[in-house]
Amino acid sequence: MKRQISRLQVRDVSLYFGGVTALSEVTLDVYEGEILAIIGPNGAGKTSLLNCISGLYRPQQGHITFVDNNGRHHELTRLRPYQIAQLGIARTFQNIELFRHMTVLDNLMLGRHVHMKGNLLSCGLYWGRQQAEEIAHRERVEEIIDFLEIEHIRRQVVSTLPYGLQKRVELGRALALEPDILLLDEPMAGMNVEEKEDMARFILDINEERGVTVVLIEHDMGVVMDISDRVVALDFGRVIAEGPPDEIRSNELVIQAYLGDESLMAFV
């Protein structure tokens, strides 16, 4: 089992929206090199947890600590989202949030933003060093385009692409950041079987070949069983179970939580 080093420590995190409890004393670890699946019925708090990690929500209570490659600890609940991205945490969204009027290339180039140095003046002049920087990062982006097999659409405006490809571009943008941890919010939702298989293959490759730690929210239990090393189940904002996939699938509490949620009947 790959669970030596904890890279992300969520401790006692609670998040409220008025009277609604989105997360309640959530504690979990993300270990280096693993694929962690987060499951739970609709409204369980999965997206809220991701939003807390990436800095979009600020929990009223608890801590989230990220351990970087040099072993330094960063308290994420005190940082702005762009700072968390700079640390090497990238994500995708449940409802695709691409830069709709930009091309695929430009979307991916934005993934390189934190690695580039260009400032207002150097960009406006576009002399020597700035041009060299743009080209160097374009090469990195092209490598990701190859990997995701989206060469044919690189100059297309994102909003003109079909849903499945948009999902793939969004993955590419997050990947361009070269994250240590990749947070994926339902990357396969709304896809057909073939698209799901492609996506699963990409996620596995990203994890194995690029050594990226993946946190994945997914409703399709088949996929979760296939690709995740470990599963955390949420219900009403609480962690109700944690363990390897086959253990979670037969966990009483998890089955209870899913009862009555017909979107997941296949699971029971």
Ligand X SMILES: Nc1ncnc2c1ncn2[C@@H]1O[C@H](COP(=O)(O)OP(=O)(O)OP(=O)(O)O)[C@@H](O)[C@H]1O
Catalog residues that contact ligand X under the rule CB under 6 A: 17, 20, 22, 40, 42-48, 94
Contact 162, 104 (CB under 8 A): no
Contacts of residue 173, defined as CB under 8 A and 6 or more positions apart, other chains included, come to 92, 98, 107, 108, 110, 111
90 binds, among other proteins, Mg ion, ligand X, none (CB under 5 to 8 A by kind): other proteins
Nearer to Mg ion (CB atom), residue 51 or residue 107: 51
Residue pair 48/26 in contact (Cβ under 8 Å)? The answer is no
Please say which residue, 57 or 202, places its beta carbon nearer to other proteins. Answer: 57
Q: What is the largest CA-CA distance in the chain?
A: 63
Specify the residue for token string 């207002």: 120
Footprint on residues 6-35 left by other proteins (CB under 8 A): none
- Ranges within 31-90 binding Mg ion (CB under 5 A): 47
When CB distances are held under 5 to 8 angstroms depending on the partner's kind, the choice from other proteins, Mg ion, ligand X, none that residue 243 binds is none
Nearer to Mg ion, 22 or 212 (CB): 22
Question: Is residue 9 close enough to count as binding Mg ion by CB under 5 A?
Answer: no
145, 161, 171, 177: which one binds other proteins (CB under 8 A): 177
20-31 and 6-17 strand pairing = antiparallel
Stretch touching other proteins by CB under 8 A, among 1-9, 32-40, 85-93, 214-222: 85-93
Residue 126 is a binding residue for other proteins (CB under 8 A): yes
Work out whether 94 is an interface residue with Mg ion (CB under 5 A).
Answer: yes
With contact defined as beta carbons under 8 Å apart, do 202 and 171 qualify?
Answer: yes
